[in-house]
Amino acid sequence: MTDIENFWAVIPAGGAGTRLWPLSRKGAPKFLHDLTRSGRSLLQETWDRVQPLAADRVLVVTGAAHRPAVAEQLPGLPDDQLLAEPSPRDSMAAIGLAAAILEVRDPDAVLGSFAADQVIEDQAGFLACVREAAEVAAARDVVVTLGIEPTHPATGFGYIRSGELLDPAGSGTARTVEQFVEKPDAATAAEYLASGRYRWNGGMFVVRASFLLDQLAISHPDLAAGLRAIAAEPTRLDELWGDLEKIAIDHAVAEPAADRGLVATVPGTFDWDDVGDFDALAGLLGKGAKDGEGHDVTVLGDAARVRTLDASGIVVAGTDREVAVIGLDDVVVVDTGDALLVTTRSRAQDVKKIVEALKADGVDGVL
Among residues 145, 354, 362, 364, the one that binds a copy of itself under rule CB under 8 A: 354
**366 part of the interface to a copy of itself, by CB under 8 A:** yes
To a copy of itself, the closest distance from the beta carbon of 244 in angstroms equals 34
**Dist. CA 95–CA 249, nearest whole Å:** 8
C-beta of 238 vs 320, nearer to a copy of itself? 320
333 binds a copy of itself (CB under 8 A): yes
- In single-letter form, the type of residue at position 135 comes to E
Sorted by sequence, the CB contacts under 8 Å of residue 51 that are 6+ apart come out as none
User: How many residues belong to the site for a copy of itself (CB under 8 A)?
Assistant: 35
Q: Which of 170, 342, 362, 364 binds a copy of itself (CB under 8 A)?
A: 342
User: Which of 242, 327, 362, 364 is close enough to bind a copy of itself by CB under 8 A?
Assistant: 327
Task: Kindly state the smallest distance separating residue 31's Cβ from a copy of itself, in Å.
Answer: 23
Q: Which is nearer to a copy of itself, 139 or 309 (CB)?
A: 309
**Residue 82 touches a copy of itself, criterion: CB under 8 A:** no
CA distances from 363 to 278, 338, 348, 350, 366 (A): 22, 11, 21, 18, 7
Q: What is the DSSP string of 104-161?
A: HH-TT-EEEE--TT-B---HHHHHHHHHHHHHHHHHSS-EEEEEEPPSS--SSS-EEE
**CB within 8 Å of 296: residues ≥ 6 apart:** 286, 290, 311, 312, 313
Choose the binding region for a copy of itself from 1-9, 165-173, 279-287, 341-349 (rule: CB under 8 A): 341-349
| Interacting residue with a copy of itself among 221, 259, 322, 359 (CB under 8 A) | 322
> CA 213, CA 103: separation in Å to the nearest integer?
9
Annotate each residue in 270-309 with x if it binds a copy of itself (CB under 8 A) or - if it does not, as one string: -------------------------------------x-x
Question: Which residue, 72 or 361, is less far from a copy of itself as judged by CB?
Answer: 361
Cα separation, 195 vs 189, in Å, equals: 10
Candidate ranges 79-87, 129-137, 216-224, 326-334; the one touching a copy of itself (CB under 8 A) = 326-334
User: CA-to-CA distance for 59 and 101, rounded, in angstroms?
Assistant: 10
CA angle 179, 91, 178 (to 5 degrees): 5
- Cβ distance to a copy of itself smaller for residue 140 or 347: 347
| Amino acid at the residue 105 | R
CB 264, min distance to a copy of itself, A: 42
Task: Confirm or reject binding of residue 350 to a copy of itself (CB under 8 A).
Answer: yes
Q: Which of residues 14-53 bind a copy of itself (CB under 8 A)?
A: 22
Stretch that binds a copy of itself, among 25-33, 79-87, 125-133, 314-322 (CB under 8 A): 314-322
> Which residues lie below 8 Å from residue 221, measured CB to CB, with a gap of 6+?
none
Angstrom distances, CA of residue 20 to CA of 272, 322, 341 = 18, 22, 10
Q: Other C-beta atoms within 10 Å of 122: how many?
A: 14
Which residues are registered as beta bridge partners of 176? 264
List residues near a copy of itself by CB under 8 A: 22, 307, 309-310, 320-328, 331, 333, 335-344, 346-347, 350-351, 353-354, 357-358, 363, 366
